[in-house]
Chain A
Amino acid sequence: MKWGKRQSLIGYLFVLPNILGILVFFFIPTLFTIGISFTDWKYTANTYNFVGFSNYGRLFKDSMFYESLGNTFIFLLSVPVSIILAFMVALLLNKQVYLKNWIRAMYFLPYITSGVAVAFVWMLLFDAKNGPINQFLQTIGISNPPGWFSTTNTAMFAYDIIWIWLLLGYNMIIYLAALQEVPQELLEAAKIDGAKPHQTVIRIIFPLVSPTTFFLLLTGFVITVKAFGIIEAVTHGGPGTSSQVLSLYVYKMAFRYYEMGYASTISIILFIIIMLITFIQWVGQKKWVHY
């Protein structure tokens, strides 16, 4: 008993520096954010007042907040799509494919490239008038191709496409690793029992890699909710506010308008949304994730 206590004490001592780091660089700033959200502090101002819940009241009446929230959800659509595509690519690459390693590296390349640089390349591709994508669409007979970043109802989906492509490589690598863990005996047994390839995938492989899918879904949502770099680089949230996501709204509020109080309020709400999504997935996973 005593020995065990001592052991755990030593254990805590070892992780203490790490915990201190988390406290100083993560936990305390979070507490500060909560505190600031109840003030009207502007970044360069020397004074601030406590304003109670008035920032939260403002938030619920702020039409820009709801629009940004809606755009964030459109942006989140890219996560499941990217995961499904990554799963299919990983299945293909797991078989004997010509130039397998090269293709694998090719798919992974976007993930390790600078997001803003990638965004600029896509900006050229998506150019409404002279971009290769629209010129291709025109040659195959679509006379009125979408305006991508230049029109309000397509801008967010253009970002979805970029984001799917960016996440694909990472998701695929994780799936490839998971596929190595699928026992060959099960697949052979299924074959002997006469299962068709698609049945094998849906009934055997997919359930077996479901913890991976769950992990990718969870981390993918978190990464995506926080991402705004490529949007700020290309359209700054435009045309109008059609591509303004919540994280970009926070960034602008804080570092363009210096409204730290209100920006903190939005980020608290953003935090709660991420928590909720995670919680729902956590509860839902019991139905479809098999360990």
Chain B
Amino acid sequence: MNVRKIGSVALSLLIASSLIAGCGGNGGNTTSNNSTASGKNTDSNKKSDEVIHLKFWGGVPEEWGPVEAIENWNKENPDIQVEYVRFVNDDAGNVKLDTALMTGQDVDLYGTYNFARFQSRAQSGLSVDLSEFDDYNIDEKMGPNAADWKVDGKYYAMPTKRDLHFVWLNKDALDEVGLSVPYDWTWSDMQEYAKKLSGVKEWGIVQDLATWDFVLDSPIVEEGLVAADGTSNLDNQDTRKILETTYNMMYEDKSRPMYGEQMASKMRVEDEFLKGNAGMFYAGEWIFRFANNLKDYPRDFKIAIAPIPKVVADQPNHYVFGGLGDAIAINPKSKNVEAAWKFLKWYADGGMLPLAKGGRLPASSAVSTEESMKLLLDGVEDLYDMDSINKVMFGNDFKTFQNKLPQQIIDTRRNEFQLYFTNDQTLDQMMANVVKAHNEYLKQNK
């Protein structure tokens, strides 16, 4: 009896003490954090010509340039020291960033990489209205495509980089089957190319699955995602044609991987293309960082690029996903908005050049395209067909768009076309389900 009592007393003591210790530990941490943070701030306020500290949250991995860019800034500007905080640009990482923004933790500047997410941030008051500043004209500097990033007619962030989807081509394989580098082409042409290329390669074409979030919106940019009567506009002849062509490439020509298999095995499509297993690769500018890395992705074939094909020849409403990306915003809760703005202008007007190596070409007209292209293709020029690269990336020959569809509908649509691609439903069923879900969403979020 006695022993048992002592035992239980000891146990409750143990539990109690561990809990107290746990609480104490946490409490201690937060207070010490706060005190150092506020300590810094009061320091900088007291001696106003002393150092301001900024925190810049970005989703680009440190080694792809942001740290180098910020080191350059810190050397030039001893009075404003910037620190790069990397968050992983997935759901969990963005929740972390949003929580930090709402609770007013140390975020002065942050990057957003997709418009739907950015729109909800701007509308929730998590970014400074940049029209407050009259010393920088975003429209002038960044060109007409910047307007894609306006929310309710205003800039709440500065889009900083060029964004573009295009088709990567294995030039050697094209030569082998006697095809020329395409420029003005259609989805049917692409299907033909893939069919011929699959004769000499394992795959005629592979596609980055991330691009599927945007491919299908291209034909309805002009008409709009929502029709005039407030219902869904997602069912469109040209959209259907894209889906059908893709389906036929999988099941009839067998010139591209089955969607389900590609998804379930997380096929690394950039590997497949750069190893020379695929003739074409539907992706975009972010592949440069793999294609230029000959150490990890050795190759001896030449790469050419082609624009995203039209759905039908002479398509007047042809748009390509692209324009500008990497929208950098300032946190309204930041204590140093002016300093953050100063940094942001510098970053956009060429400060971000170290990121060009990874494919993030500055959009600002303050940076010459030659300069950023030189950085991008430094030492690997011989492995590219420069004519096609210059023509597609800088020709400004086609209209571009940024996706405005909310994430929920993007996801629902993805679920539905997956079922079409896995033969679980017909195209008609798919479209009916997508439209139904979109209409429901529109009703809910009126």
Chain A: residues with CB nearer than 8 A to chain B? 11, 14-18, 20-21, 42-46, 58, 123-124, 126-129, 131, 147-152, 155, 234-235, 237-241, 252, 255-258
Contact status A238-B418, CB under 8 Å? yes
B177 at the interface (CB under 8 A from A): no
Closest to B12 in A: A14
Closest beta carbon of chain B to A20's beta carbon, Å:
8
With contacts A150-B258, A152-B419, A240-B424 taken as known, whether A123 is within 8 angstroms of B95 at the C-beta atoms is: no
Closest to B262 in A: A150
With contacts A123-B266, A147-B260 taken as known, whether A14 is within 8 angstroms of B422 at the C-beta atoms is: no
Q: Which residues of B contact A16 (CB under 8 A)?
A: 16
List 9 tightest A-B contacts by C-beta distance, closest first. Answer: A149-B264, A150-B260, A14-B12, A150-B264, A44-B124, A240-B419, A17-B16, A17-B19, A239-B418
Q: Which residues of B contact A20 (CB under 8 A)?
A: 19
Q: Which residues of B contact A148 (CB under 8 A)?
A: 264
Q: Which residues of A contact B415 (CB under 8 A)?
A: 237-238, 240-241
| B15, B120, B407, B422: most-surrounded residue (chain A CB, <10 A) | B422
Q: Write the B1-44 contact mask toward A (1 if CB under 8 angstroms, else 0).
A: 00000000100110110011011000000000000000000000
Q: Which residues of B contact A147 (CB under 8 A)?
A: 260-261, 264
Closest beta carbon of chain B to A267's beta carbon, Å:
16
Other-chain residue from A46, A128, A131, A155 in contact with B124 (beta carbon distance below 8 A): A46
B76 at the interface (CB under 8 A from A): no
Contact status A240-B418, CB under 8 Å? yes
Other-chain residue from A11, A15, A129 in contact with B261 (beta carbon distance below 8 A): A129
Contact status A239-B260, CB under 8 Å? yes
Contact status A14-B16, CB under 8 Å? yes
Number of interface residues of B (CB under 8 A): 40
Closest beta carbon of chain A to B271's beta carbon, Å:
14
Contact status B91-A256, CB under 8 Å? yes
Closest to A256 in B: B91
> Can you offer 14 A-B residue contacts whose CB atoms are under 8 A?
A18-B16, A18-B19, A58-B444, A147-B264, A149-B264, A152-B422, A238-B415, A239-B260, A239-B419, A239-B421, A239-B424, A240-B422, A255-B91, A258-B98
How many A-B residue pairs have C-beta atoms within 8 angstroms? Tell me: 108
With contacts A127-B264, A235-B264 taken as known, whether A46 is within 8 angstroms of B16 at the C-beta atoms is: no
Q: Which residues of A contact B227 (CB under 8 A)?
A: none
Contact status A44-B264, CB under 8 Å? no
Other-chain residue from B9, B120, B264, B414 in contact with A123 (beta carbon distance below 8 A): B264
With contacts A43-B98, A240-B419 taken as known, whether A150 is within 8 angstroms of B261 at the C-beta atoms is: yes
Q: A15-B12, A126-B264 are in contact. List 15 more A-B contacts (CB 8 A).
A: A18-B16, A20-B19, A21-B22, A43-B95, A46-B124, A58-B444, A123-B264, A127-B264, A128-B264, A129-B261, A150-B264, A234-B264, A239-B264, A240-B415, A257-B408
B228 at the interface (CB under 8 A from A): no
A230 to B11 alpha-carbon distance, docked (Å): 36
Q: Which residues of B contact A235 (CB under 8 A)?
A: 263-264
Q: Which residues of A contact B98 (CB under 8 A)?
A: 43-44, 258
Closest beta carbon of chain B to A132's beta carbon, Å:
13
Other-chain residue from B23, B120, B265 in contact with A127 (beta carbon distance below 8 A): B265
Other-chain residue from A11, A129, A239, A257 in contact with B263 (beta carbon distance below 8 A): A239
Q: Write the B70-114 contact mask toward A (1 if CB under 8 angstroms, else 0).
A: 000000000000000000000110010010011000000000000
A105 to B92 alpha-carbon distance, docked (Å): 34
B411 at the interface (CB under 8 A from A): yes
Q: Write the B123-137 contact mask toward A (1 if CB under 8 angstroms, else 0).
A: 011100000000000
B121 at the interface (CB under 8 A from A): yes
B416 at the interface (CB under 8 A from A): yes
A155 to B421 alpha-carbon distance, docked (Å): 15
Closest beta carbon of chain B to A139's beta carbon, Å:
20
Other-chain residue from B16, B416, B444 in contact with A240 (beta carbon distance below 8 A): B416
